[in-house]
Structure 1
Amino acid sequence: MNFQDNLIENEMGVERVVKTSKRVAVLGIKTEQQSGQPAFYVPEYLARAGVEVVPVPVYYPEVKQILGKPVYRKLVDIPGEIDLVNVFRRPQDIDQHLEDIIAKKPKAVWFQSGIRNDAAAEKLAQAGIQVVQDRCLMVEHRRYAILG
C-alpha cells in the first residue's frame, strides 16, 4: 500500500474516519475556563455525542481533569487503543508531537480547521496512520455520525 493512501482527502475517507473513531485523544485540548474556544467546545460536543474523549492538554500543568476525564500529558501514557488523535496545535507546533503520536499508533490523526502541515502528515502516513487535515471534526461528525 502506498503511504499516500493514508492522506485522507476524499469524503468517503473522512466519513470512514468519523464513523470508526469511538475513542479520541484531544491533543492541545483547552479547559472549561476556555469554553468559548474550539479546542474545548469541539471535544465537549464529541463527549456529548457519545465519543470517549481522552484529554491531552499541552498547557495547564495543574489541571488533573477536563470534561470529567483524567488528563494525560503524553499520548503514549494513555492506556489502551486510540482510534483518533484530534490535534489543536499550530502547524509549526505539530512536529514536536510526531514521535509521541507515532509511538502511540492511533488509527488516524485529525488536524482541525486551519491546521495543515504536509510534512508532518506525510511522516504520519508513512508510519501507517491515516491523516485528515484542515477540517473540523465537529462539523464532519454532525454530518456523518449515526447518533443513538
Structure 2
Amino acid sequence: MPLTTDAEIKTLLEDVRTIALIGASDRPDRPSYRVMQTLQEHGYRVIPINPQITGEHLHGEFVFRDLGQIGDPIDLVDIFRNSAAAGDAVDEAIAAGAKAVWLQLGVINEDAAARAEAAGLKVVMDRCPAIEIPRLGVARIA
C-alpha cells in the first residue's frame, strides 16, 4: 500500500536527503521547475533528470539523461510524468536502487506502485512534496 497517512509521509520527507526529479524542466512556467526550486529551498539535494536538456545545469545541478547516470545513492525519485509513463520511471527507480518513489499530483499507476513495493520501495502517489512539506511542518536540516 502506498503511504497515505500524514505521519508516514512526514517521516519519509524527514528521512530523505537526495531526490532525483524525473521530468525536470528548465522552463519557469512548468510545475517541475518550481517544485525542484522549492525542494532545494527546504534543504534537499535535487538531481534533475531530463534527456532533452542533459548536460545543462538547472538550479545549480547537472541535468542527467536517466537515473543510471547519477552514480550517487538516491533516497527518493519524484516523478513528473503522466500515469502511463510513470511505470517506466518507477522501473528505472527500482533498478537504480532508490528507496522510495513519489508520483506527482494526478499521477496514479497502481501496477507500478505494486512493483515498487514488491522491490522494497516506499510509494507515494497523487501528491506533491512541495505542498506536503509546509502542510505537515516537515523539519529538515540541510
What is the TM-score normalised by the length of structure 1?
Answer: 0.87
Distance 1:58 1:64 in 2: 10
Name the structure, 1 or 2, with higher relative contact order (CA <8 Å, separation 6+).
1
Q: Matched residue of 1:131: which SS?
A: strand
Structure 1: 4+ residue segments shifted above 2 A? 58-61, 95-99
Distance 1:53 1:98 in 2: 17
Distance 1:58 1:36 in 2: 19
Distance 1:119 1:99 in 2: 11
1:47 and 2:40 matched: yes
Q: Matched residue of 2:133: which SS?
A: helix
Distance 1:13 1:29 in 2: 25
Partner residue, 2:115? 123
Counterpart amino acid of 1:38? P
Q: In the TM superposition, what is the alpha-carbon distance from 1:97 to its structure 2 partner? A: 2.5
Q: Is the 8 A contact 1:29 1:58 kept in 2?
A: no
Distance 2:116 2:132 in 1: 21
Identity between Structure 1 and Structure 2 (%):
28
Distance 2:18 2:90 in 1: 19
Partner residue, 1:69? 61
Counterpart amino acid of 1:18? L
Distance 1:102 1:95 in 2: 11
Listed as ranges, the gaps of 5+ residues in structure 1 are none
**1:82-116 deviations in whole A, cap 9, x for unaligned?**
11001000001112223321111211110111111
Q: Matched residue of 1:50: which SS?
A: coil
What is the aligned-residue RMSD (CA, Å)?
1.5
Q: In the TM superposition, what is the alpha-carbon distance from 1:18 to its structure 2 partner? A: 0.9
What is the TM-score normalised by the length of structure 2?
Answer: 0.91
Listed as ranges, the gaps of 5+ residues in structure 2 are none
Q: In the TM superposition, what is the alpha-carbon distance from 1:58 to its structure 2 partner? A: 4.2
Q: Is the 8 A contact 2:91 2:116 kept in 1?
A: no
**1:97–1:147 CA distance, 2 compared to 1 (3 A):** closer
Distance 1:119 1:47 in 2: 30
1:112 and 2:107 matched: no
Partner residue, 2:4? 9
Distance 2:17 2:98 in 1: 12
How many residues are treated as equivalent by the alignment? Answer: 140
